[in-house]
Chain A
Amino acid sequence: MAKTTPLVGKEFVSGFRLQTEWATLIAAAFFFGKIGSGLFLMSLFINSWVGALVGLLIVLIGKGGAHLLYLGRPERFWRGLTKPGTSWVARGFWAMMIMMVSGTIYLFSPIGSTASSVFAVIAGISAFVVAIYDGFLMNSSPSIPLWNTAMMPVLCLFYSLLGGTTLTLFLIEFGFAEVAVETIFLSNMEIVLLLTNLIIMILYLLSMANATAAAKESLRLLVRGTFALPFYVLALGIGLVFTLLMSYFVGTHGGAGVVGLITAADLVGHYFLFYLLLRVGVYKPVLGQLTM
């Protein structure tokens, strides 16, 4: 007999229900959106033309491609621009379009010209929106309590900045980009961002431990249930702890190979954290728990 509310699938039983629609491709779209816009923002900050170009391409091909593959009717994708007044999907789409257009104009304007400065600002603002809008998108709906928290956009922003910093270091170390700041500055910034992300993630999970029953069920799945192993190994272990230790004890002194390893570990952790947060999203039972 059911003592507590069960986690149910398609059976005709009332209980917590897993979110199943947003998974691999949406996680990929969020991932590419965050690392691409993060790289673009970092490149604006350190004046890296190549970094900005790669950031734009990651957003266009990675994020845009994943969204198109996911849509049930991709041929109608343009309709997604219709309602930015109320829909975060539409706002994100608009931000992405503005980032693409203004970013391209910025890249091909003469350096130091007015056009270059104006479009850098527009592209920077839109890249910032691209970096955080998926946090607002997840936060905006009350349906899944795990996502319905103001910490979600913050988590997205800091993961975006971390991804951008890591990719910038990768581009520098592999000789694809030259920047106006010292590598050690970026290296230290990465360590600070890794620590910040670790703290934010712990705070986020702690806040869920004191949230509603559905949020607690999501948390149980993440830290003790089906998804605990990938969470501890990929999202937390490889993505944050290993990356932090490698960055702190070896860092850029280890050469291109170490930076490549740190970049790969960071990106793996980044993707899997958001993939797992999507997968453990749980809906509340329609009429709550039945009591005697």
Chain B
Amino acid sequence: MHLGMVIDLKRCVGCQACTIACKAENGTPPEVLFTKVLEQVAGEYPIVKKKFIPILCNHCDDAPCVRVCPTGATTKREDGIVLVDHKKCIGCRACYVACPYKNRIFLKRGSLKNGYFGKELTPFEKVKYPKWQEGVVLKCTFCVERVDQGLDPSCVQTCPADARIFGDLSNPESKVSRLIRQRGGFQPLSEDNTEPSVYYIE
């Protein structure tokens, strides 16, 4: 099995529901976003084109982050999901720099103290924050806890436009494989030969 995602750029409306769903699911601290939607504009008034590009960790098959990690904290599971073991990470940020997509986040010291509202953590933050560690690198996990239960990642489930599709890339009959085949799915920065597991279709 090789889990991956297809993002339909024609369907994305840039609502950032995936961004919020990811934060709610993972309870990430301030300034930590595992996914977000970028805007891209071309042309000049009155002929203007605007595109929304959802980005997240691409869980690359030949991930530079796995290669450069000096501790083995970043690993790839058999199903292709790339994870960071926070107990092994030393915070050298070699993976952060090596990721061509800049989809890793370093959790600075003190990030977990104040939460979003300053003086003290909310009950939600008190429940969610213990799983994070300061001084290490974080990234999208494809909502591995949900995937292990047979569910889709939170961003996929939330997307109101069905712009994100999750599935098994190694199965030619899966929806993701068919979409890639039929609509010419392409990988971001394919020239870097990282073999991302996230494809875009237009």
> A-side interface residues toward B, CB under 8 Å?
1-3, 12-15, 17, 19, 21-22, 67, 70-74, 76-77, 79-84, 86-90, 93, 137, 140-144, 281, 283-287, 289-292
Contact = CB atoms under 8 A, between A and B. Distances in A.
Contacts, number: 148
In this complex, the member of A1, A89, A286 whose beta carbon has the largest number of chain B beta carbons within 10 angstroms is A286
Interface stretch (B32-40, B140-148, B177-185): B32-40
A11 B137 CA distance: 21
11 contacts: A12-B16, A21-B96, A72-B135, A73-B136, A87-B69, A89-B92, A143-B102, A284-B189, A286-B189, A292-B42, A292-B47
B38 A14 contact: yes
Nearest to B9: A287
B101 interface: yes
B127 interface: no
A81 B98 contact: no
B49 interface: yes
B166 interface: no
Interface string B26-53: 0000000000111111111101110101
Interface of A, helix, strand, loop or mixed by DSSP: loop
A292 B71 contact: no
Categorize the interface residue count of chain B: 35 or more
A72 B93 contact: yes
A144 B97 CA distance: 8
B90 A77 contact: yes
B172 interface: no
Contacts of A284: 100, 189
Interface in B42-99: 42-45, 47-49, 51, 53, 55, 64, 66-73, 88-94, 96-99
Contacts of B72: 79, 82-83
Contacts of B91: 71-73
A88 B68 CA distance: 7
Given A71-B90, A76-B90, A88-B94, 19 more contacts: A1-B45, A12-B16, A12-B37, A19-B97, A72-B91, A73-B133, A74-B90, A77-B90, A79-B88, A80-B70, A80-B71, A84-B70, A86-B67, A89-B92, A90-B71, A141-B64, A142-B192, A142-B194, A290-B51
B76 to A, nearest CB: 12
A286 B100 CA distance: 8
Contact of A1 (B39, B48, B70, B98): B48
